[in-house]
Amino acid sequence: MRNKATKGLIMAMLITLAACAAQEAASWAVHDRNRPAPPVVTPGAESRLPPSDAVVLFDGTGLAAWQSAKDGSDARWKVENGYMEATSKAGDIQTRQAFGSCQLHIEWASPEVVAGSDQGRGNSGVFLMDKYEVQVLDCYENVTYADGQTAAIYGQKPPLVNVCRKPGQWQTYDIIFHAPKFDGQTVVRPATITVLHNGVLVQDHWEIQGTTLHKTPARYEPHAGTLPLRLQDHGNPVRFRNIWIRPLADEPN
């Protein structure tokens, strides 16, 4: 009996020692010159312009990177003067390429001539992985429900502040998104999202509660791999320009 207990203790010590050794091997000394240097990336001429390792999704010249979300046909939004514009009844559009965790830069402008109110005023949306909507809406002196206003995670989380510019002016979203992880039907790790609206933090590494739904509490619908980025046609002529994305590792690092 005593022999068995001693053996068990030795095994536990060996396992602990092995774990410590593995941890040490994975860590680096302070200022260790053998530590691999990060890749070199050339920044855009202005910080809003795509760096050298970005996938450019729209540079103002055409919709080659986009297709109809409904049937995969060519995207039918209007392109002119360096922007694309949601065209009523043309439907949502989505990227031909699929993405998961990412850094996204996108610029948008609600119509200069104000029409409608509440959710009917400059409504569009940026759907990460086709499922998780960052709301686009003209909330400059426009009242609507908090979890549906500009930069809300629609139906889930209002933004920290309302930092909307006036109608017609260009606005920016910079988004860091980490995809959720599933084991079968179980959520192992929810998606997380950070959003800067016009350079101001409005979503702070928030855990998304599930797929965006209308008038229904969000819930996850498990998915695997990557999915397209989608832009919403909500019947309002919202414009977009300068869209680029950098795929990220699933684990924040």
Closer by beta carbon to Mg ion, 232 or else 242: 232
Closer by beta carbon to Mg ion, 54 or else 153: 153
Closer by beta carbon to Mg ion, 123 or else 211: 123
**Beta strands 78-80; 227-231: pairing state:** unpaired
Q: Alpha helices, DSSP H only, in 49-202?
A: none
Interface residues for Mg ion in 185-214 (CB under 5 A)?
none
CB 160 within 8 A of CB 202: yes
**Beta strands 239-247; 55-58: pairing state:** antiparallel
| Closest distance to Mg ion from the beta carbon of 117 (Å) | 15
The candidate with the shortest Cα–Cα distance to 78, out of 64, 94, 62, 59, is 62
Assigned token pair, 237 = 């002529």
Q: Which of these segments, 72-80, 130-138, 160-168, 212-220, binds Mg ion (CB under 5 A)?
A: 130-138
Closer by beta carbon to Mg ion, 133 or else 174: 133
Assigned token pair, 94 = 């989505």
Which amino acid is it at 219? Answer: R
Closer by beta carbon to Mg ion, 135 or else 144: 135
Number of residues that bind Mg ion (CB under 5 A): 4
Q: Is 125 in the site for Mg ion (CB under 5 A)?
A: yes
Q: Rounded CA gap, 200 and 246, in Å?
A: 20
| Closest distance to Mg ion from the beta carbon of 212 (Å) | 9
Q: What three-state secondary structure class fits 119?
A: helix
Q: Which of these segments, 105-113, 117-125, 191-199, 243-251, binds Mg ion (CB under 5 A)?
A: 117-125
Closer by beta carbon to Mg ion, 67 or else 232: 232
Q: Which of these segments, 46-54, 116-124, 182-190, 208-216, binds Mg ion (CB under 5 A)?
A: 116-124
Q: What three-state secondary structure class fits 126?
A: strand
Interface residues for Mg ion in 224-253 (CB under 5 A)?
232
The candidate with the shortest Cα–Cα distance to 169, out of 139, 189, 205, is 139
Q: Which x/- pattern over 132-151 shows residues binding Mg ion (rule: CB under 5 A)?
A: ---x----------------
DSSP state of 158: -
Residues that bind Mg ion (CB under 5 A): 123, 125, 135, 232
